[in-house]
Amino acid sequence: MPARRTRKPNVVLFGIDSLRRDHMSCYGYRRLTTPHIDRFAQESTLFEQTFSAYIPTTSAYASMLTGQDVFTTQVVALRHKGPLRPEVKTLAEILREEGYDTTCVGFGGNPSSRGFDKYIEFPGWGSWNEGRSPKAQNLNDVAIPELDRLARKRDPFFLFLRHMDPHSPYLPPAPFERIFYHGNEFDKRNKSMEPVMAFKPFRDFFASWMPPGVTDKEYIIAQYDGAVAYMDAAIQSIFTALEARGLAEETIVVINGDHGETLYDHDCYFDHHGLYEPTLIVPLIVRYPGKAPAGARVKGYNQHKDLVPTLLDLAGIARPDLAFDGRSLMPMARGAVASHESEFYITECTWMRKHGWRTPNWKLIVALEPDFHAKPPVELYNLFEDPDESINLAESHPEIVEELTRRMHAWIARRERETGLPNPIYSQPGWHGTQGIDYFTSSQQAYDTLHIGDPAQAARLQSRSR
What are 98-135's pLDDT values in tens digits?
Answer: 999 999 999 988 999 999 999 999 998 888 888 899 99
| Residue range 35-79, pLDDT digits in tens | 999 999 999 999 999 999 999 999 999 999 999 999 999 999 999
Q: Are residues 45 and 22 in the same domain?
A: yes
Q: Are residues 39 and 166 in the same domain?
A: yes
How do 281-287 and 362-367 pair as beta strands? unpaired
Q: Are residues 441 and 371 in the same domain?
A: yes
Confidence of residue 453 (pLDDT cuts 50, 70, 90): confident
List, in order, residues 6 or more apart from 62 with CB less than 8 Å away: 54, 68, 70, 73, 75, 80, 84, 111, 112
H/E stretch holding 63 reads helix 57-64
Is 79:465 a contact under the CB 8 Å cutoff? Answer: yes
In a domain, 255, yes or no: yes
pLDDT, average across residues 201-222: 95
Q: Are residues 303 and 402 in the same domain?
A: no
Q: Are residues 396 and 294 in the same domain?
A: no
Under DSSP, the state recorded for 271 is: B
Q: At which of 294, 314, 341 does a domain end?
A: 341
Q: What is the tally of helices (H) and strands (E) in the chain?
A: 14, 13
The CATH number that applies at residue 236 is 3.40.720.10
CA distance linking residue 13 with residue 4, whole number of Å: 20
- Mean pLDDT estimate for the chain: 94
How do 251-257 and 281-287 pair as beta strands? antiparallel
- The Cβ-side half-sphere exposure at 207, using a 13 Å CA radius, reads 13
Under DSSP, the state recorded for 8 is: P
Q: Residues of 352-380 as b/e, b for ≥16 C-beta within 10 angstroms?
A: bbbbbbbbeebbbbbbbbbbbbebeebbb
Q: Are residues 373 and 294 in the same domain?
A: no
pLDDT of residue 128: 85
The CATH number that applies at residue 375 is 3.30.1120.10
In a domain, 4, yes or no: no
pLDDT, average across residues 433-446: 95
pLDDT of residue 460: 59
Q: Are residues 299 and 376 in the same domain?
A: no
Give the ranges where 123-275 is alpha helix by DSSP (H).
Answer: 135-152, 194-197, 200-209, 217-244
In a domain, 88, yes or no: yes
Q: Residues of 197-209 as b/e, b for ≥16 C-beta within 10 angstroms?
A: bebebbbebbebb
Q: Are residues 311 and 406 in the same domain?
A: no
In a domain, 3, yes or no: no
pLDDT of residue 88: 97
Percentage above 70 pLDDT, the chain: 96
Q: At which of 313, 341, 369 does a domain end?
A: 341
Q: Are residues 242 and 257 in the same domain?
A: yes
- Choose between 52 and 433: higher pLDDT: 52
Cα separations (Å) of 97 from 115, 155, 157, 324?
A: 10, 12, 12, 17
Is 286:254 a contact under the CB 8 Å cutoff? Answer: yes
Confidence of residue 190 (pLDDT cuts 50, 70, 90): very high
Q: How many domains, in total, are found in the chain?
A: 2
Q: Are residues 324 and 377 in the same domain?
A: no
In the beta sheet, which residues pair with residue 12? Answer: 159, 253
pLDDT, average across residues 252-257: 98
Confidence of residue 454 (pLDDT cuts 50, 70, 90): low
Coil/strand/helix, residue 59? helix
pLDDT of residue 130: 86
| Residue range 137-157, pLDDT digits in tens | 999 999 999 999 999 999 999
In a domain, 80, yes or no: yes
pLDDT of residue 232: 98
pLDDT, average across residues 206-215: 93
Q: Are residues 195 and 257 in the same domain?
A: yes
* pLDDT of 337 higher than 70: yes
In a domain, 299, yes or no: yes
Q: Are residues 295 and 352 in the same domain?
A: no
CA distance linking residue 136 with residue 234, whole number of Å: 6
pLDDT of residue 430: 94
pLDDT of residue 276: 98
CA 294 distance to own-chain centroid: 24
Q: At which of 321, 341, 361 does a domain end?
A: 341
pLDDT, average across residues 434-449: 96
Range of the domain at 153: 10-341
Is 305:325 a contact under the CB 8 Å cutoff? Answer: yes
Under DSSP, the state recorded for 426 is: G
